[in-house]
A and B are shown apart, each in its own frame.
Chain A
Amino acid sequence: MGFSWRLLPGFALSEIGGSGRDRPGLLAAVSLRPEFAFGFRNVLADIVWLEAVQVAGNVEMTPADYDRLYELLNVEANFDPKFDIPYLFGGLVLGESPDHAQKALEIFERGKKEYSADWRFPFFIGYTNYFSLGETESAGKAMAEAAKLPGSPSYLPGLASRMLTEAREPEAALALLETITRQENDPVRRAVLERRIREVTVERDLQALEGAVKSYREKTGAVPRELSDLVRAGILSGIPEEPNGGRYLMEPGGKVRSDRVSQRLRVFQSR
Chain B
Amino acid sequence: MFRRIFSIAANTFRETIRNKILYAILAFALFVIGMTFFLADLSVGDFARIIADVGLASIHIFGVIMAVFLGINLVSNEVDRKTIYIILSKPVRRFEFIFGKTFGLSVTLLLTTLAMATVLFLVHLSYRYGGRAEVGIFIASAGIYMELVLLTCLASLFSTFTTPVLSAIFTLSLFLVGHLTKYLYVLGEQSKAVGVRWGSRFLFYILPNLENFNWKNEVAYGGLKSFSILGWAAGYLVAYAACVLCLSCLLFARKDFK
Cβ contacts under 8 Å, A89 to chain B: 44-45
- On chain A, the residues within 8 Å of B44 by CB distance are 53, 85, 89, 188
Number of A-B residue pairs having CB atoms within 8 Å of each other in the complex: 59
* Chain A residue with Cβ nearest B55: A43
Instruction: Return A124 CB to nearest CB of chain B, in Å.
Output: 14
Tell me which of B49, B175, B183, B214 contacts A46 (CB under 8 A).
B49
For A78-92 the 0/1 string (1 means CB < 8 A from B) is 001011010011000
A33 to B183, CA, bound (A): 10
Over the window 168-199 of chain A, the binary record of Cβ atoms lying under 8 Å from chain B Cβ atoms (1 yes, 0 no) is 00000000000000000010100000000000
Size bracket of the B interface: 20 to 34
**A39 & B210 in contact (Cβ 8 Å cutoff):** yes
Number of interface residues of A (CB under 8 A): 23
Interface string of A42-67 (1 = CB under 8 A from B): 11011001100110000000000000
Considering the complex, which residues of chain B in the window 41-73 have a beta carbon less than 8 Å from any beta carbon of chain A? Answer: 42-46, 49-50, 53-54, 56-57, 60
Contact of B43 with A39 in the complex, beta carbons under 8 Å: no
- CB nearest to A35 among chain B residues: B183
Given A39-B60, A46-B53; A85-B42 close (CB under 8 Å): no
Q: Are B50 and A35 in contact (CB under 8 A)?
A: no
Is there an interface contact between B43 and A53, defined as CB atoms closer than 8 Å? yes
Which residue from chain A places its CB closest to the CB of B39 in the assembled complex?
Answer: A50
The answer on a CB contact under 8 Å between A40 and B60 is yes
Q: When the two chains form the complex, which single residue of B56, B180, B220 contacts A38, counting CB atoms closer than 8 Å?
A: B180
Pick the most buried of B53, B175, B180: most chain A CB atoms within 10 A of its CB. B53
* CB–CB A36/B54 < 8 A: no
Smallest CB separation, B213 vs chain A (Å): 9
Residue A204, interface by CB 8 Å: no
Say if the beta carbon of A110 comes within 8 Å of chain B. Answer: no
The secondary structure that dominates the A interface is helix
Q: Choose from A33, A38, A50, A188 the contact partner of B176 (Cβ within 8 Å).
A: A38
A89 to B44, CA, bound (A): 8
A50 touches B50 (CB 8 A): yes
Chain A residues near B214: list those with CB within 8 A: 39
A35 to chain B: which residues have CB within 8 Å?
179-180, 182-183
Q: Which residues of B contact A (CB under 8 A)?
A: 39, 42-46, 49-50, 53-54, 56-57, 60, 175-176, 179-180, 182-183, 210-211, 214, 216-217, 220-221
A residues touching B (Cβ–Cβ < 8 Å)? 33, 35-36, 38-43, 45-46, 49-50, 53-54, 80, 82-83, 85, 88-89, 186, 188
A-B contact pairs, 22 of them (CB 8 A): A33-B183, A35-B179, A35-B183, A38-B179, A39-B179, A39-B214, A39-B216, A40-B57, A42-B57, A42-B216, A42-B217, A42-B220, A43-B54, A43-B216, A46-B49, A46-B50, A46-B53, A50-B42, A54-B42, A82-B221, A83-B220, A188-B44
A sample of 19 more A-B contacts (CB under 8 A), given A35-B179, A50-B42, is A35-B180, A35-B182, A36-B180, A38-B176, A39-B60, A39-B179, A39-B214, A39-B216, A40-B60, A41-B217, A42-B216, A43-B56, A46-B43, A46-B53, A53-B43, A83-B49, A85-B44, A85-B45, A89-B45
